[in-house]
């Protein structure tokens, strides 16, 4: 298992971690099979989406903000209920195939850490699945 460190800079943002995940696969010496990318946090997630245009990530964060506003009549007292809901909608893991030591993503795809309660120091776990 490898740990990827992520430093979010905003309360809500998508941080591309594709390069770090590729490095973790090299360090783990995974040649063929699949990996799991897992986020062990309740207010953050992981998503695969377009990495060529940064406005896609901003659109995702903005849309989730409209679907699940930060301030509503939530029962959770910490003030971050929206972050828990957004993380639940995106999920905390992705399984990605690996062939000849390379992760298999589509031409425009990247792996993103989804922060919903930042800024914070976070971690992502990468391992063989």
Tell me, yes or no, if the pTM score tops 0.85. yes
Task: Give CA–CA dist 117/3, Å, rounded.
Answer: 20
Q: What is the pLDDT of residues 26-78, one digit of tens each?
A: 999 999 999 999 999 999 999 999 999 999 999 999 999 999 999 999 999 89
Element counts in the chain: helices (H) and strands (E): 3, 8
2-128: CATH topology: Jelly Rolls (2.60.120)
Q: What is the pLDDT of residues 83-122, one digit of tens each?
A: 999 999 999 999 999 999 999 999 999 999 999 999 999 9
Domains of the chain by residue range? 2-128
């Amino acid at each position: 298992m490898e740990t990827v460190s992520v430093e979010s800079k905003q309360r809500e943002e998508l941080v591309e971690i594709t390069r770090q995940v590729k490095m973790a696969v090299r360090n783990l010496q995974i040649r063929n099979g699949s990996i799991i990318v897992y986020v062990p946090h309740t207010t953050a997630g992981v998503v695969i989406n377009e990495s060529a245009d940064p406005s896609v990530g901003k659109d995702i964060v903005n849309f989730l903000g409209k679907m699940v506003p930060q301030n509503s009549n939530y029962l959770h007292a910490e003030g971050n209920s929206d972050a828990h809901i957004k993380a639940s909608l995106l999920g905390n893991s992705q399984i990605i195939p690996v062939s000849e030591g390379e992760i298999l993503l589509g031409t425009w795809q990247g792996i993103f850490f989804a922060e919903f309660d930042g800024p914070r120091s976070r971690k992502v776990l990468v391992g063989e699945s």
